[in-house]
Every structure is written in structure tokens, then in C-alpha cells.
């Protein structure tokens, strides 16, 4: 297992895992604890993204990262829509530690930049390139996209918050909660 714990102090990020609270599209906490992990390859790219955001007065706020396979099944049972939730039979890049959901915040105040929709807004309004959001939100999404792609990440066109390693399927295994010393699942 090559998962690395992502802490606020070690990575200079904010960690606010939506699935560790009821503040997500299911309305229920999925994770027992808000521990954040990524594959070591993903963590290396995250470090680069943090370095690109910092001179701009910005920080990254992580909304989801490694998602145990058991969590992917719970999300799929709640919303079996492959446009927004990876089919757990195929495997999610999140369950490989190869994907991270995040947004940008102002480093000085912690205020999130306006992205036009919230996290896990399952509508075309959340797609990269949507012109139905304000020009300011479009700029902020483009800024996040620029930072993350310059750091080496791929993106998912239907979710402005989702970034992942290129072609993770077949390169990284799907992992369950059992690989963690301190399980995340409820």
C-alpha cells in the first residue's frame, strides 16, 4: 500500500472532507473520521499544486481524497449515475488514492473562491467550461484547472472539483477500508 496521510500541517492545505459529515449529497456521514489519504504519486502532484497556488495567495481545500471501496458502493447505491459517481464494479480513481476533490480558498482569510456551484452539485452547471455560471466563477474554475493541470493532474469534465492521475485504472489497485491502520468507514 502506498497511501500517504495528507495533513494540513505537512502539506499546507485545508482538509474538509465532505463525506465525514452530513454536508454532502447523501445527507449522511459516510466516513467515521476525517482522515485524508492519497497515493504517494498523487500526493507528489498535490505538493506541486500547493506550490503553484501559494504565490497567488491561495490554498487548496481538500473535499475528498482516498475513498475506500466500501464508501464508493454507498455513494453508488445512493446515486447510481455514472456521469457523477464511478461504478464501483469498474473502480473509482478515488478508491485507488489517485483522485482528489478540492477547491481554492484565499490563504489570508480562508474564504473559498466562488466556483458557481457547491461541491457534488450533480448538474451540468458544475461542468468545466459551463458558461451558465458567472464570469468570476468561470475565472476561478479556470484558475483551479490551470494550477492542477500545471501540477500534472488530469481532470473530469463533469466536475470542476475533481482531479486525478492520468489513466489510473490498471496502474493502481482499488483499496478497501481494511488497508488503513485506523479505518475510516462507519
Q: Which three cell numbers stand for residue 71?
A: 464508501
Distance CA 99, CA 1 (A): 16
DSSP state of 21: S
Positions marked catalytic: 159
E-strand stretches of 6-89: 14-15, 37-39, 58-64
Which distant-in-sequence residues (6+ apart) come within 8 Å of 9 by Cβ? Answer: none
Strands of the sheet with 162-164, listed across from one edge:
14-15, 58-64, 99-106, 162-164, 154-155
Distance CA 72, CA 78 (A): 10
Amino acid at each position: 500500500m502506498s497511501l500517504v496521510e495528507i495533513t494540513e500541517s505537512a502539506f499546507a492545505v485545508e482538509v474538509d472532507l465532505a463525506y465525514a459529515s452530513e454536508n454532502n449529497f447523501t445527507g449522511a456521514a459516510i466516513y467515521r473520521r476525517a482522515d485524508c489519504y492519497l497515493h504517494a504519486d498523487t500526493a507528489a502532484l498535490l505538493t506541486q499544486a500547493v506550490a503553484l497556488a501559494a504565490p497567488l495567495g491561495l490554498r487548496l481545500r481538500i473535499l475528498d481524497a482516498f475513498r475506500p471501496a466500501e464508501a464508493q458502493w454507498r455513494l453508488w447505491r445512493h446515486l447510481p449515475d455514472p456521469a457523477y459517481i464511478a461504478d464501483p464494479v469498474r473502480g473509482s480513481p478515488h478508491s485507488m488514492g489517485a483522485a482528489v476533490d478540492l477547491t481554492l480558498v484565499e490563504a489570508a482569510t480562508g474564504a473559498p473562491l466562488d466556483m458557481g456551484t457547491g461541491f457534488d452539485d450533480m448538474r451540468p452547471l458544475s461542468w468545466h467550461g459551463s458558461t451558465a455560471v458567472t464570469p468570476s466563477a468561470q475565472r476561478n474554475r479556470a484558475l483551479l484547472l490551470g494550477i492542477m493541470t500545471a501540477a500534472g493532474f488530469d481532470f473530469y469534465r463533469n466536475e470542476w472539483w475533481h482531479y486525478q492521475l492520468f489513466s489510473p485504472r490498471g496502474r493502481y489497485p482499488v483499496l478497501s477500508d481494511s488497508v488503513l491502520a485506523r479505518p475510516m468507514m462507519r
